[in-house]
Amino acid sequence: MITDSPTVTAVAPAPDGAPIPGPLLTPQPDSSGGGGSVPDLPTLSFQDDVTSIFASWTPGEWIGYSSLVLLSLALTVIALTTLWWMLHAWRSDGHLSRTAFAAEAKPAHLSFSLLVPGRHEEEVMGETLDVLARQDHPDFEIIAIVGHDDPGTEAVCRAAAARHPGLIKVIVDDSVPKNKPKALNLALTVARGQVIGVFDAEDEVHPHLLSLVDTKFKDTGADVVQGGVQLMNFRSSWWSLRNVLEYYFWFRSRLHFQAEAKFIPLGGNTVFARREWLDWSDGWDDQCLAEDCELGVRLSSAGANIVVAYSPEVATREETPGTLKSLYKQRTRWNQGFLQVLRKGEWRKLPTFRQRMFARYLLSMPFLQAATGLLIPLSLVLILFVKVPTPIALLSFLPIAPTLVTIAVEAAGLGEFGRVYGIKPRVRDYVRLVLGTFPYQVFLALASVRSVIRQLRGINSWEKTEHSGAHRDAAEERRQPELVLGGVR
């Protein structure tokens, strides 16, 4: 820019010993004229500033800041993937229409055996069996499994069997200790249907469900069909609202994503599998705390065609656990079950690397949640009490972004849930939804921490839930595999 000036070119270069500028800030190459022509170049004032951005950090700050950044990024990735999968069904209208049952059932072509294990369920099981018996499918049988030490439930079941002769069988499980997979495996020995379905003792099942499931098998050539399950009582408490929404998004959307990814942790009920596959799998794994998930993983790994279908009107209806404590224990068991499945390693047989990575990620989720749970207080302390550089402070807020989008989506979901099931949510429910977000995350993190601890310490047992008389309390157990150690109870 100064080439036309006659006087500057021949002038001395910068004096010896002048600081050599670093690559980041080379102001101007000497050849370009400008700065190089000036003798006694003063120290550029911005040199110090540049180096000071990083250099002034102490080792402690380095560690603190980088762990904060890593934590933020990890949390963000987890929240984003979870959000994206949660929204799977609504990615496009094609996605949505594929997730439903057929509108009209076709003529039946399969026979069904419906297994209903029950333990201390005398209050609800009779009605459950009556409702199941009203299925409009022409070819099915119901097998109720009760414990030899549970005469009350057995009596209720036998009464139901008498009301529906030829339809309901009652078999007695005398194994010790008892659990749900054992009961199911026992029933499998007497079941005659081409398709085996599982229900829990308190399930409210739509009478048209079997016909639709039959059609789904026919239309898709499925080996396994997972139907929808829906918790209903979102007004009971702040956490029941969250629990209900979890189910809604899981069955309405997320499971379809799992099906597409060909890796499905199956649910505990409203699941239908072809007999051949259950024979292949040797029934359910009675050592696992999440036998339903475990079966799903094995079937997925073996390449079974698992189809998920959800239509709100025929979803099986349930209630949330009666207390936060039982939800906590339930969640601990699920998490621990996931960790068991992770360790068992059946998922390594999944055909593609992508599926294996996905399985590993999904099954490790309790670990990840636990880790983030432990780091939440750390990052809070850092943000509140340590003066953090602005970019890092901004970055630490990053995980909040997907979380807030998730809340918006959940609010939309609550609205839709209300419309679909005819219970209009009130403003109060939305407020609960928003305010409950953080406590529920903490709650989930705590359950994860606990499950990891239990898993690491090798506590593999069913933990006793107070069962004395409180029926609502018992509801929670019914949903779950019961690995009861005789001594504990």
What residues from 78 to 107 belong to the interface with another protein (CB under 8 A)? Answer: 87, 90-94, 96-97
Check residue 397 for interaction with another protein (CB under 8 A): yes
CA dist., res. 256 & res. 246, Å (int): 14
Check residue 304 for interaction with another protein (CB under 8 A): yes
Cβ-based neighbours of 70, under 8 Å, separated by 6 or more: none
Check residue 34 for interaction with another protein (CB under 8 A): yes
Minimum distance from residue 370 beta carbon to another protein (Å): 27
**Applying CB under 8 A, which part among 8-16, 153-161, 360-368, 467-475 lies near another protein?**
8-16
Interacting residues with another protein between 113 and 172 (CB under 8 A): none
The DSSP result for 171-214, as a single string, is: EEE--SS--HHHHHHHHHTT---SEEEE--TT-B--TTHHHHHH
Cβ-based neighbours of 83, under 8 Å, separated by 6 or more: 402, 405, 406, 409
- Which candidate, 178, 237, 57, places its Cα nearest to that of 477? 178
Cβ-based neighbours of 223, under 8 Å, separated by 6 or more: 273, 274, 276, 277, 299, 304, 305, 306
Check residue 8 for interaction with another protein (CB under 8 A): yes
Check residue 207 for interaction with another protein (CB under 8 A): no
**Applying CB under 8 A, which part among 26-34, 421-429, 463-471, 472-480 lies near another protein?**
26-34
Rank residues 63 and 408 by Cβ distance to another protein and give the closer one. 408
Interacting residues with another protein between 429 and 488 (CB under 8 A): none
Percent of the chain as helix, strand, coil, to the nearest 5: 55, 10, 35
Phi then psi dihedrals of residue 488, to 5 deg = -70, -45
Half-sphere exposure of 330 (CA within 13 A, CB side): 18
**DSSP-derived secondary structure letter, 42:** P
Task: Single out the residue of 67, 81, 82, 194 in contact with another protein (rule: CB under 8 A).
Answer: 194
Minimum distance from residue 171 beta carbon to another protein (Å): 24
Rank residues 159 and 280 by Cβ distance to another protein and give the closer one. 280
Look up tokens 């998930």; give the residue: 293
Task: Single out the residue of 6, 17, 59, 486 in contact with another protein (rule: CB under 8 A).
Answer: 6
Look up tokens 């595999």; give the residue: 481
Interacting residues with another protein between 402 and 421 (CB under 8 A): 404-405, 407-409, 411-413, 415-416
Rank residues 303 and 439 by Cβ distance to another protein and give the closer one. 303
Check residue 32 for interaction with another protein (CB under 8 A): yes
Minimum distance from residue 49 beta carbon to another protein (Å): 5
Minimum distance from residue 265 beta carbon to another protein (Å): 18
Minimum distance from residue 218 beta carbon to another protein (Å): 6
CA dist., res. 23 & res. 36, Å (int): 16
Minimum distance from residue 85 beta carbon to another protein (Å): 12
Q: Strand 168-173 vs strand 140-147: parallel, antiparallel, or unpaired? A: parallel
Check residue 377 for interaction with another protein (CB under 8 A): no
Rank residues 172 and 302 by Cβ distance to another protein and give the closer one. 302
CA dist., res. 244 & res. 410, Å (int): 11
Rank residues 18 and 190 by Cβ distance to another protein and give the closer one. 18
